[in-house]
Homo-oligomer: A and B are copies of this chain.
Amino acid sequence: MSEDNLPQDFSFKLFATDGHARAGEITTAHGTIQTPAFMPVGTAATVKAMMVEHVYATGAEILLGNTYHLMLRPTAERIHTFGGLHKFMNWPHPILTDSGGFQVMSLAKLRKITEEGVKFQSHIDGSTHMLTPERSMEIQALLNSDIQMAFDECTPFPCEKTEAESSMELSMRWAVRSKNAFSGGPGQAIFGIVQGSVHEDLRARSIKALVDIDFPGLAIGGLAVGEGQEEMLRVLDFTVPLMPHDRPRYLMGVGTPEDLLLSCLRGVDMFDCVMPTRSGRHGQAFTRYGKINLSNARFADDATPLDPQSTCPAANSYSRAYYHHLFKSKEILGAMLLSWANIHYYQDLMRGVRDAIKAGTFDDFATETRENWKRGLDR
């Protein structure tokens, strides 16, 4: 924990590139992160159904925490009195917090958006709250996260271009206010969020605005909202090349292993998604064989470990038949083991991506990985 030592400045180093893909390292107050990186989501100060020691053992070096959830329960002020989110949840490594903008739109009730910010009612108890750029940054400061996100409006999808434009412009004005309100110390940083829906000119204007504000990292928002993989990749194809080469690029809320692989090929450095843990709670495994549904009757008598070649104890020590039994019996252990195995697989994939970029063999790695997924268990 660098909180016991002299804090390090926030920085991003690139080690290698292969085509558009990049391998690098982010340094934060609580440690370094190898990129491309996948961040497990610790919504309410816990990666659902997982021990933090196991999360770390998978190779995850940074978690995502949700401002919206934590401001409502147990409250940012309370977490601050406990010494911040790292101490509260026993995760001494880097944490990125989102701004609350996305959850306000997807979870809260009776939203009212003004220039000032978003007034909404809690989905938990109906109480009224206000999120503004200033309040979002105050909350993230109380949580003491290493990477904090500018407060933005989550543009609906699909929407008219005029709506996408005015939403992006509002987010850019909020980005200025967020940067001004950011109070991070050494090793902490604030990232801006590129908006503009599926429109190249809007994305380009958004990036220019964020570069002018001089954020040390940029995220791509407004994707993985129902547009589909093909459209997402089309947007990445014209958006990523416009982003600064010397700063981390974070694609928010993405995605499947294939989404990650194809986005890395396009130069993305960071990802977060609830998919490996949410799927893990419902019997969906992500493996080098592709996605498999362990509730399927074909696994009732399959004594093979989930993945005998995995280095993850949850994958190499428990049979598919045992997993099948646990999900059929609705046993919590099923969610525990499969969330662990899925997060481990995501980290295995990112390790493979980083190694391949450094070796200059990323195209071959991507082809082979996708072929393995397609072949499935029957090889």
**Chain A interface (Cβ < 8 Å from any Cβ of B):** 44-46, 48-51, 73-74, 78, 81-82, 88-90, 281, 300-301, 303, 317-319, 321-322, 324-326, 328-329, 331-333, 335-336
Decide yes or no: A82 and B331 within 8 Å by CB, A51-B336, A73-B325, A336-B336 being known contacts: no
A-B contact pairs, 12 of them (CB 8 A): A44-B331, A48-B331, A48-B332, A49-B336, A50-B333, A51-B51, A74-B328, A78-B301, A82-B303, A82-B322, A90-B322, A336-B336
Knowing that A48-B332, A49-B333, A81-B301 are A-B contacts, what are 18 other residue pairs whose CB atoms are under 8 Å apart, sorted by A's residue number? Answer: A44-B329, A45-B322, A46-B331, A48-B333, A49-B336, A51-B333, A74-B321, A74-B325, A81-B303, A82-B303, A82-B319, A82-B321, A88-B319, A88-B322, A90-B318, A90-B322, A281-B332, A332-B335
Q: In the assembled complex, which residues on chain B have CB atoms less than 8 Å from the CB atom of A281?
A: 332
| B74 pairs with A332, CB closer than 8 A | no
Q: In the assembled complex, which residues on chain B have CB atoms less than 8 Å from the CB atom of A317?
A: 90
Chain B nearest CB from A122 CB (Å) reads: 13
A137→B46 CA distance, assembly (Å): 44
Decide yes or no: A333 and B46 within 8 Å by CB, A81-B303, A319-B88 being known contacts: yes
Across the two chains, which residue of chain B brings its CB closest to A45? B325
Q: In the assembled complex, which residues on chain B have CB atoms less than 8 Å from the CB atom of A51?
A: 51, 333, 336
Chain B nearest CB from A75 CB (Å) reads: 9
A90→B316 CA distance, assembly (Å): 11
Chain B nearest CB from A142 CB (Å) reads: 15
Chain B nearest CB from A187 CB (Å) reads: 24
Q: In the assembled complex, which residues on chain B have CB atoms less than 8 Å from the CB atom of A88?
A: 319, 321-322
Chain B nearest CB from A235 CB (Å) reads: 34
Across the two chains, which residue of chain B brings its CB closest to A328? B73
Q: In the assembled complex, which residues on chain B have CB atoms less than 8 Å from the CB atom of A331?
A: 44, 46, 48
A73→B297 CA distance, assembly (Å): 13
A321→B85 CA distance, assembly (Å): 12
Report which of B48, B50, B300, B335 forms a contact with A78, defined as CB distance below 8 A: B300
Decide yes or no: A73 and B329 within 8 Å by CB, A88-B319, A303-B82, A322-B88 being known contacts: yes
A270→B300 CA distance, assembly (Å): 34
Q: In the assembled complex, which residues on chain B have CB atoms less than 8 Å from the CB atom of A78?
A: 300-301, 321
Across the two chains, which residue of chain B brings its CB closest to A72? B329
Please give me the 3 A-B residue pairs with the lowest Cβ-Cβ distance, nearest first: A49-B332, A46-B333, A74-B325
